[in-house]
Amino acid sequence: MPVIQLTQALTQSLPLCPEGKGRIELCDAGVKGLYIEIRATTSDTGTFYLRYKNEQKKTAHKKLGLTTEMTLAEARTTAKQLKAKLLQGYNPKEVQKKSTITTFAVFFESQYLPHVKQHNRSWKNDEQMFTTHLRGVFGDIQLDKFKKADAQRFHAKLMEQRLKPATCDHYLKLLRRILNVAVDWEVITANPLARVQLFNADNRLERYLDEDDLGRLLQVLYNDGNRMVCNILLFLLTTGARLGEALNAKWCDIDNNRQWRIPQLQSKSKKQRYIPLNDVAMKVLCAVDTKNNYEHIFVNLGTGEKYRCIKKAWTRLRKEAGLSNIRIHDLRHQYASMLVNEGRSLYEVQQLLGHSDPKVTERYAHLAPSTLQQAANSVSPRLGQPSGL
């Protein structure tokens, strides 16, 4: 905890957390006990705190405000005023207990949702889950009145409504996440749902195509009359990209070195990445023929707008190919499987798919039975021919 002379300029350009650390503190040399907490998850914003000793002589912390909401001078003044009140017996925790703590619905709508909109691109999922199930069950409950048993009953009831175990877990995880934010912001002192058990069901389904399946699908994609949708699907199959990445692809993102740039805002990892385009992918781009007339690559020529959904067309195409239970995202699985079956390393596959964690790549890298059979047979020459066989 370095003690430095904090400046207003520093509060407006905070340092990043070192790699591997979840948080750091910058302690003010001007006012003893005043410090700025910087979290790795919100490195653009710090929080002013005052560290003090409570009546039990234990270290306690009082949040003063965000660096984006108050100046350093205001934080120092507030800290000095609070220290004076502490000397007179003031107990911030006791005052908090006596105050009326907000309900779950009010906290979600007025505090959590505005916060998550700035930091999580999937905030709409949180909003939908809140509206669908959480508001009706927990909306009127004060945050400090949450009970573990209530959450467990809610979790089990979702299963009775025939929701998938993984979906039930998503609701419980969202509840935990919201209450964790309330703890971080000192609305409540602890999260009662921290140890509620999840179902943790293995919902990973191995969906990939054998040679016959792939052949039938390619036959349909190369010959069907809906050329634009077929080209989108071929582009996914030959690049391993996500559907959203392809639908948002622009001609300006394709460079002369056959590299497709995925902008940070379009990437799931929130990091810009590049996908090398193979020969088939380049042929797809040539066949699309929208380069000089439209900003986006894959455009509905009837409306002049980029495609937003191709689910209906995909359902028809996969049925024509005789494929059942194959999703568009499984084309990404197929790309990874083809790479591995051609002898490419998992590291190479990881880089091509843009995964930060190699464990995620392993889920996609399905080996064909024929490849596994070849691997098993490879040890036969080492074992020789036992007598009697």
For the segment 184-206, what is each residue's pLDDT rounded down to a tens digit? Answer: 888 888 899 988 888 886 655 55
The one-letter amino acid at 228: M
Given this model, what pLDDT does residue 343 score?
82
pLDDT of residue 349: 84
* 298-346: pLDDT as tens digits: 999 999 999 999 999 999 999 999 998 899 999 998 998 888 888 888 8
- Specify the pLDDT at position 387: 56
Does the domain at 104-184 match CATH 1.25.40? Answer given as no
| Residue linked to tokens 């350093």 | 72
d(CA 90, CA 82): 8
What is the chain's Cα-based Rg?
28
More confident residue, 364 or 196: 196
Question: What are the distances in angstroms from CA 149 to CA 28, 76, 145, 175, 195?
Answer: 43, 43, 12, 13, 11
Question: Is residue 214 very low, low, confident or very high in pLDDT (cuts 50, 70, 90)?
Answer: very high
pLDDT band, very low/low/confident/very high, at 234 (cuts 50, 70, 90) = very high
Distance CA 301, CA 324 (A): 29
Domain residue limits, the chain: 3-98, 104-184, 211-368
Q: Which fold has domain 211-368?
A: hpI Integrase; Chain A (1.10.443)
Residue 39 has pLDDT above 60, yes or no: yes
pTM for the predicted model, two decimal places:
0.57
| CATH architecture of residue range(s) 3-98 | 2-Layer Sandwich (3.30)
Q: What is the mean pLDDT of residues 85-89?
A: 84
Report how far residue 134's alpha carbon sits from residue 127's, in angstroms, rounded to the nearest whole number.
Answer: 10
Q: Which of 204, 254, 209, 231 is nearest to 310 (CA)?
A: 231
Residues 6+ apart with CB under 8 A from 362: 346
Pairing relationship of beta strands 3-4 and 23-28 according to DSSP bridges: parallel
Tokens describing residue 261:
């740039």
Candidate ranges 118-122, 141-145, 215-219, 377-381; pick with highest mean pLDDT? 215-219
Q: What is the pLDDT confidence band of residue 16, given thresholds at 50, 70 and 90? A: confident
